[in-house]
Amino acid sequence: MAARLIDDDPELAHQHALAASRSAGRVGVVRETVAITAYAVGDFALALRELRTHRRITGSDEQLPLIVDSERGVGRPDRALEEGRAVDRSTLSTPVRVQLAIAMSGARLDLGQTERALQELEIPEADPDRAFEWSPALFSARAAVLEELGRDDEAAEWQRRAEIASDALDAASGVADREVIVVEEIDLIDDEGGVDVASGVIPVADPDDEAPVASAPAAEDDESVGAGEPAAGDDTIATVAGDADAEEQR
């Protein structure tokens, strides 16, 4: 129930999590759920306590980014940076490493260290040419820092890429409303099935693979975004229109 409600009613989700903790307080996932819902309702002190308990029970650092962000929430950005530096990042999964970089960047911003906030986001996963599950948040975080630095043109470009990446991921997972994303500008398709993104096209990539996988390229305007069935081969890219002229364009 907590998982079902967290997006629409975080307070009720938190009450479900607390109820679970009264019955199964020694179960790691229960304490983790309490922490996540506490964070969602802004109770960062409780979130920290539950996250530390979860880490003691499970030995996992997968919620380290939330620990860092919760330290920020209670007004301790210095402590947040210490927490982030205390773990070998090479031991973390890629999504967690990216989330940690974003949280560490936020702590730098809290301290007024804007240039260093940008440095925290200079990670290999910040590839503007491919979209992974973490790309929209990472690109948006970079845009926010660039805006703080007064580099508005760069900020706008990274925010645009964040939106394109989000649309491409939605299309690849079938979330978007229309059949397939329409792209008017594709410069080339390389041997690995990737798309040249000079014109703003980002191929969706499998985080476990070095090369991009089958994807629907993304358009810049909202009206051209849609979803389609996965292509038959990994080196196939769909470019079918989602409007009344779909069959003709196909």
* pLDDT at residue 175 tops 90: no
Does any domain span residue 104?
no
In tens, the pLDDT along 39-92 reads 999 999 999 999 999 999 999 999 999 999 999 999 999 999 999 999 999 999
Does any domain span residue 185?
no
Q: Take residue 246 and report the two structure tokens written for it.
A: 């779909």
* DSSP assignment letter at 45: H
Query: In sequence order, which residues have a C-beta less than 8 Å from that of residue 90 and are 6 or more positions away?
Result: none
Does any domain span residue 193?
no
Does any domain span residue 51?
yes
Does any domain span residue 16?
yes
Does any domain span residue 102?
no
pLDDT at residue number 9? 97
Which CATH number fits the domain that encloses residue 1? 1.25.40
Does any domain span residue 124?
no
On whether the pTM is more than 0.75, the answer is no
* pLDDT at residue 197 tops 90: no
What is the SS3 assignment for 15?
helix
Give the model's confidence band at 172: pLDDT under 50 very low, under 70 low, under 90 confident, else very high.
Answer: confident
What is the SS3 assignment for 54?
helix
CA distance 168 to 45: 37
* pLDDT at residue 249 tops 70: no
Does any domain span residue 246?
no
Q: What is the residue range of 14's domain?
A: 1-67
C-alpha closest to that of 128 among 52, 221, 195 = 195
In tens, the pLDDT along 104-141 reads 999 999 999 999 999 999 999 998 888 899 999 999 99
Total number of domains in the chain: 1
